[in-house]
Amino acid sequence: MDIHPILSQLLELQEKPAPFTPGEPLFWNDPHISKQMLDVHLNPDIDAASRKPEIIDRTIKWLIEILGLQPSASLLDLGCGPGLYASRFAQAGFHLTGVDYSLRSIKYASAYARESDLDIVYRYQNYLELDDENLYDAAFLIYGDFCPLNPKERAMLLKNIHQALKPNGYFVLDVTTREHRRRHGNKNNWYAAQSGFWKPGLHLVLEEGFDYPEQSIWLDQYTVIEADEKISVYRNWFQDYTPETITAELSQGGFSVESLWSDLTGEPYNPASEWIGVISGKN
């Protein structure tokens, strides 16, 4: 019996892909999806694309204190989105550079900085292509942005950040642990929508999660079928860490871990935490 082409493709998509197999490229710049992403970033009631405002405020306050940042410091916010962290740092008197690969978010952040007279330079750029040298006292990569990158990309990013920092500069990031996936589970769901996050028109979304426990990797895969039978596959990969594995990876990139936390608000590290906040220094 012949199988309908769509069903045949869906059967293939149920197979576990090799780690970090890409899905749709640059979907955060899709005209529809980027608008949805910006709306989620700016929604103060949910922890999705960004953390809630009160958590961001606590994070900024704690980072200034733990790093001993002086008002003249130059800071680099990687994956800055609409500037929720960068704007707060700038309001505290620091010189900011924000880098993001979502043009819509950068335009929003730039407009907000101009209107608020904030000392921020925003750049629409892939931080894997960052070529700054010896410019920053600290660099930040917050809310797990390190985890979706494949090993080659992570090594490249560490190289770029190491080059961009001044001697004795700090690199601050947070990464997920396996406890995060254990608590939230793998996705296995479907729904139809007249309009939604992925598409402006009628579509069906198949959500599926894949776990790679031997490598501490997991995947959220979204297969979207539109009314004209077009299929798009969006993949969000996540590399989980332990204190030992993130310390080793940063060491290979030229950084020494100075302290580990359960988050970036100063909560002491707990092995049961879903997150690891990392304060590291450039060797």
**Residue 273 pLDDT more than 90?**
yes
Output the DSSP codes for the chain. Answer: -PPPHHHHHHHHHTSPPPTT---STTGGGSHHHHHHHHHHHH-TT--SSS--HHHHHHHHHHHHHHHT--TT-EEEEET-TTTHHHHHHHHTT-EEEEEES-HHHHHHHHHHHHHHT--EEEEE--GGG----S-EEEEEE-SSTTTTS-HHHHHHHHHHHHHHEEEEEEEEEEEE-HHHHHHH---EEEEEESS-SS-SSSEEEEEEEEEEGGGTEEEEEEEEEETT--EEEEEEEEE---HHHHHHHHHHTTEEEEEEESSTT-PBP-TT-SEEEEEEEE-
- The full set of domains in the chain, from first to last, is 5-19+180-238 (no CATH), 43-176+241-282 (3.40.50.150)
Would you place residue 169 in the very low, low, confident or very high pLDDT band (cuts 50, 70, 90)? very high
Q: Mean per-residue pLDDT for 249-257?
A: 98
Res 82: pLDDT: 96
**pLDDT at residue 1 is higher than 60:** no
Average pLDDT, stretch 80-100? 97
Provide the pLDDT confidence category of residue 183 given band limits of 50, 70 and 90.
confident
Mean pLDDT of 136-164: 98
pLDDT tens figures, 227-240:
999 999 999 999 99
Taking residues 67-73, report their average pLDDT.
Answer: 94
Query: What does the pLDDT read at residue 125?
Result: 96
Assess contact for 100 and 29: CB atoms under 8 A.
Answer: no
Q: What is the dihedral of CA 63, 68, 71, 76, to 10 degrees?
A: -50
Q: Is the pLDDT of residue 149 over 60?
A: yes
Residues 192-216 pLDDT 10s: 999 999 999 999 999 999 999 999 9
